[in-house]
Structure 1
């Protein structure tokens, strides 16, 4: 496994997932902007009325954290492949996307539960869209990884 290739593939997958989440925000008119939600929560900048922060610090922290997590997920994929568990193909992409989506749902559900002032967003819709976003992420990682190697 080439760590640089899998890391770059993680960046591509994260970018595609982020674009998917923003497109779903536009199409559904729901608050699904993962970078803003993550940044707002990590910097504790939820407004008193539950809105997301537009401050540069919240946005930059959200971007950095989201891409870091995406690279970690991609490295986990590469580790699994190096152990002979799955391979960078479309069939594995489905399973990796489902697995990643379930991990993300558990993380976000817990994060909202323990956060002292989470944003007032429709959590159910966010988690379902996030699950689908992780399938987009997994396919993006696999396509980019196969292109790079």
Structure 2
């Protein structure tokens, strides 16, 4: 990964996380269910229990953690592209977002069940919003990467070019 693709991957993760967060908060507004991921994550990480009105510290920690994980997902996508597992296109970006959503649901379910003071909200609504927003994340982050980059030659493509044909 060269420095240009490194920064493009970070940017695509940040933009995807913004889109995902908007989706989670829009879901909360439309359904009247509490799915504000930054509020929930921040409070859980700092050990506070005021999920509906978090402290500035909880919001800062939640925002930092949420965007950090978004960037990590973006780097994971880049690795999967480089290994030839997924293509950089709309269909695969929705699929990788869906798979990421399933992984996130598993991680969140484990974290909530292990937390000393788990939040009290509708887990099913939170998980539905999480799945939808990860599909949005996948589509947005992959397409931001594709729009900015000049069609990178990925590792698996370079390996194919390097093969000696008899």
Q: What is the TM-score with the length of structure 1 in the denominator?
A: 0.94
Distance 1:73 1:52 in 2: 27
Distance 2:53 2:119 in 1: 9
Q: CA deviation at 1:133?
A: 0.6
> Structure 1 stretches of 5 or more lacking a match?
none
How many residue pairs align between the two structures? 146
Provide runs of 4+ in structure 1 moved above 2 Å. Answer: none
Q: CA deviation at 1:53?
A: 4.4
Q: CA deviation at 1:52?
A: 3.7
Partner of 1:135: 135
Distance 1:43 1:56 in 2: 11
Partner of 1:8: 11
Q: CA deviation at 1:119?
A: 1.3
Residues 10 and 74 in structure 2, CA contact (< 8 A), matched pair in contact too: yes
Q: Which structure's relative contact order is higher, taking Cα pairs within 8 Å and 6+ residues apart?
A: 1
**Residue 45, structure 1, aligned to residue 48, structure 2:** yes
Secondary structure in 1 matching 2:142: helix
Residues 45 and 52 in structure 1, CA contact (< 8 A), matched pair in contact too: no
Distance 2:92 2:139 in 1: 9
Distance 1:38 1:140 in 2: 22
> Structure 2 stretches of 5 or more lacking a match?
150-166
Provide the alpha-carbon RMSD of the alignment: 1.0
Residues 94 and 136 in structure 2, CA contact (< 8 A), matched pair in contact too: no
Deviations 1:30-77 (A, max 9, x none): 100000010010011014xxx444200000000000000000000000
Distance 2:40 2:23 in 1: 15
